[in-house]
């Protein structure tokens, strides 16, 4: 696949005429939309740089999420060339380059269809960051009180965003950075409320917004970081004259979107150590990639995948690929995986003879060679681990949050995530009632099966109800610690 979209000279001249703070914001914004997320589109669609990019890519002034999904490869090609120009013209700092590298490595690994476009550029970035060394400058800046200890969380984010691959691989350097911070007034043994954290993020200086936002995108598995991303997107990407007006509403929406109440707090030391450890892990994953498995001849297969809003329509998929459903689990979700395997077995027994499933521990599945993973293979990830986290970042729609777990899909891959704090006996009862009402029609169909032809008689939507919704609901119920004490005979499956 050749780079079919080139930024126009007018576009490049516009980008290169921006100051360094705005350039960092453009980089962070462009990076955020490669994943094609509806929330990101709503935030970024009014940015001048996005309107320029989208017009070049599509010839249109306005974008929809479906159009962005269809043009993901063109968006990536455009973005890669703009970033390359920024680096060539030395318009972005080493810290920005390091954080771009982490983000693009994750995107490269999780989006097969983008690998041919991004392969050369990502490998060059991985080679470049091996020579980046910001350690001594960072120590000097801390000693010179560049970072305000009173704004502890924002200062921590700014400092952590400056870590490079060399520094994160040397524990002595990391220890000295933290000791220098303590010497210069940083107090790690304290707890900060989410209210205080919010005020610090909303007060970010203009020159820090792009760098902090780009860094935060790499660590959104942490609640406070996810919340920071939401605040930055909805507040700092709005015109300055709007911000005071929208401030209260932005905070409420961001809290709700991140599943927070506004009463949370966070220990500074734990926060720092968590993010530092995650940065170490992510830099370690930045490595030279071999020639991508994906080629332009596979475009049609990917187009089929893009259209697959319904991931487990086995009458449509298994006849073409004859691949099993891979159920990938970790040590905490093995019971759920085994239960789900049994449920799929029951569906097969009742009429879907071509559908089967195989269990994989996540570490074993991650080591499978690419040739063992079909583009159209159906995969259910259960739990939090690297492959499921990468997919989770790109999922637009999630279901069942109210019952203590989340279910979402992208193409033929899906994720089930659990929130132990939200799983309760009340949630268990609510789920049973919801399942009975939501899937009653499908339960009746299953119960009335007399031959093996029922599956093919269902519409795609009905197959989703039986094969996805019902299966997931029952699988989750199996995990509840009190399920053994409840009457499970009347479950919907």
Could you read off the pLDDT of 108-127 as tens digits, one per residue? 776 666 777 787 888 888 88
Last residue of a domain, one of 250, 285, 307: 307
Residue 493: inside a domain, yes or no?
A: no
Distance linking the first and last C-alpha atoms of the chain: 45
> What is the average pLDDT across 392-403?
76
Q: How far is CA 162 from CA 13, 24, 112, 122, 218, in A?
A: 28, 14, 29, 20, 13
Examine the domain organization and report whether 278 and 330 are in the same domain.
no
Residue 12: inside a domain, yes or no?
A: yes
- Residue 309 in this model has a pLDDT that exceeds 70: no
Examine the domain organization and report whether 295 and 340 are in the same domain.
no
For 154-201, the pLDDT digits (tens) are 999 999 999 999 999 999 999 999 999 999 999 999 999 999 999 999
Examine the domain organization and report whether 294 and 370 are in the same domain.
no
Last residue of a domain, one of 307, 332, 359: 307
Going by DSSP bridges, is the β-strand pair 379-382/325-329 parallel, antiparallel, or unpaired? parallel
**Spatial contact of 94 and 162, defined as CB atoms under 8 Å apart:** no
Residue 335: inside a domain, yes or no?
A: yes
Q: What is the DSSP letter of 311?
A: T
Examine the domain organization and report whether 87 and 191 are in the same domain.
yes
Examine the domain organization and report whether 47 and 185 are in the same domain.
yes
Examine the domain organization and report whether 276 and 397 are in the same domain.
no
What is the rounded distance in angstroms from the CA atom of residue 273 to the CA atom of residue 286?
20
The per-residue pLDDT for 112 is 63
For 398-443, the pLDDT digits (tens) are 777 777 677 777 767 888 887 666 655 566 566 656 655 655 544 4
Range of the domain at 363: 309-485
What is the rounded distance in angstroms from the CA atom of residue 21 to the CA atom of residue 206?
7
Examine the domain organization and report whether 300 and 363 are in the same domain.
no
Examine the domain organization and report whether 271 and 315 are in the same domain.
no
Examine the domain organization and report whether 403 and 282 are in the same domain.
no
Residue 492: inside a domain, yes or no?
A: no
What is the rounded distance in angstroms from the CA atom of residue 238 to the CA atom of residue 229?
14
Q: How far is CA 94 from CA 168, 180, 221, 365, in A?
A: 15, 22, 24, 35
**pLDDT band, residue 387 (cuts 50/70/90):** confident
Number of domains comprising the chain:
2
> What is the average pLDDT across 302-320?
35
Examine the domain organization and report whether 297 and 324 are in the same domain.
no
- Residue 97 in this model has a pLDDT that exceeds 60: yes
**Spatial contact of 480 and 419, defined as CB atoms under 8 Å apart:** no
Dihedral sign of CA atoms 141, 146, 151, 154 in order: negative
Examine the domain organization and report whether 169 and 283 are in the same domain.
yes
Q: The whole model's pTM is what?
A: 0.60
Residue 367: inside a domain, yes or no?
A: yes
CB atoms within 10 A of CB 443: 18
> What is the average pLDDT across 232-259?
93
Question: Could you give the 3-state DSSP secondary structure of residue 163?
Answer: coil
The per-residue pLDDT for 432 is 57
Examine the domain organization and report whether 105 and 12 are in the same domain.
yes
What is the rounded distance in angstroms from the CA atom of residue 151 to the CA atom of residue 426?
40
Task: Enumerate helices (H) and strands (E) in the chain, giving the number of each.
Answer: 27, 8
Burial class (CB in 10 A: 0-12, 13-18, 19+), 231: buried
């Amino acid at each position: 696949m050749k780079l079919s979209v080139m930024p126009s000279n007018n576009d490049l001249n516009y980008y290169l005429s921006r100051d360094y703070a705005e350039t960092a914001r453009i980089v962070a914004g462009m990076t955020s939309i490669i994943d094609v997320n509806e929330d990101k589109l709503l935030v970024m669609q009014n940015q001048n740089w996005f309107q320029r990019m989208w017009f070049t890519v599509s010839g249109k002034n306005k974008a929809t999420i479906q159009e962005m999904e269809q043009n993901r490869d063109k968006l990536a090609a455009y973005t890669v060339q703009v970033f390359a120009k920024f680096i060539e013209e030395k318009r972005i700092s080493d810290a920005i380059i390091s954080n771009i590298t982490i983000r693009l490595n994750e995107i490269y690994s999780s989006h097969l269809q983008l690998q041919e476009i991004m392969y050369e550029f990502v490998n060059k970035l991985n080679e470049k960051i091996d020579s980046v060394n910001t350690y001594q400058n960072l120590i000097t800046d801390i000693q010179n009180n560049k970072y305000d200890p009173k704004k502890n969380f924002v200062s921590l984010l700014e400092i952590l965003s400056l870590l490079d691959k060399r520094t994160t691989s040397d524990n002595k350097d990391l220890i000295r950075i933290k000791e220098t911070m303590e010497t210069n007034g940083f107090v790690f043994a304290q707890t900060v409320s989410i209210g205080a954290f919010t005020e610090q993020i909303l007060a970010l200086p203009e020159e820090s917004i792009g760098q902090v936002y780009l860094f935060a995108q790499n660590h959104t598995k942490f609640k406070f970081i996810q919340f920071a991303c939401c605040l930055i997107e909805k507040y700092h990407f709005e015109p300055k004259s709007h911000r005071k007006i929208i401030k209260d509403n932005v905070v409420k929406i961001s809290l709700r979107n991140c599943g927070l109440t506004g009463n949370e707090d966070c220990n500074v030391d734990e926060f720092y150590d968590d993010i530092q450890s995650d940065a170490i892990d992510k830099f370690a994953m930045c490595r030279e990639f071999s020639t991508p498995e994906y080629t332009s001849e596979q475009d049609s297969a990917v187009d089929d995948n893009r259209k697959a809003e319904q991931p487990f329509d086995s009458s449509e998929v298994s006849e073409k690929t004859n691949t099993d459903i891979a159920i990938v689990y970790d040590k905490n979700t093995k019971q759920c995986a085994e239960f789900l395997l049994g449920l799929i077995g029951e569906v097969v027994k009742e009429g879907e003879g071509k559908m089967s499933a195989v269990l994989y521990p996540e570490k074993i599945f991650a080591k499978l060679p690419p040739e063992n993973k079909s583009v159209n293979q159906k995969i259910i990830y259960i739990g939090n681990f690297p492959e499921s986290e990468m997919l989770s970042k790109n999922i637009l729609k999630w279901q069942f949050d109210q019952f203590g777990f989340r279910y979402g899909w992208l193409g033929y891959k899906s994720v089930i995530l659990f929130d132990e704090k939200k799983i309760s006996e009340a949630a268990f009862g609510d789920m049973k009632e919801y399942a009975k009402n939501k899937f009653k029609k499908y339960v009746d169909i299953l119960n009335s099966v007399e031959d093996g032809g029922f599956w093919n008689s269902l519409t795609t939507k009905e197959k989703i109800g039986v094969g996805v919704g019902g299966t997931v609901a029952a699988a989750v119920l199996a995990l509840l610690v009190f399920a053994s004490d409840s009457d499970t005979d009347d479950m919907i499956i």
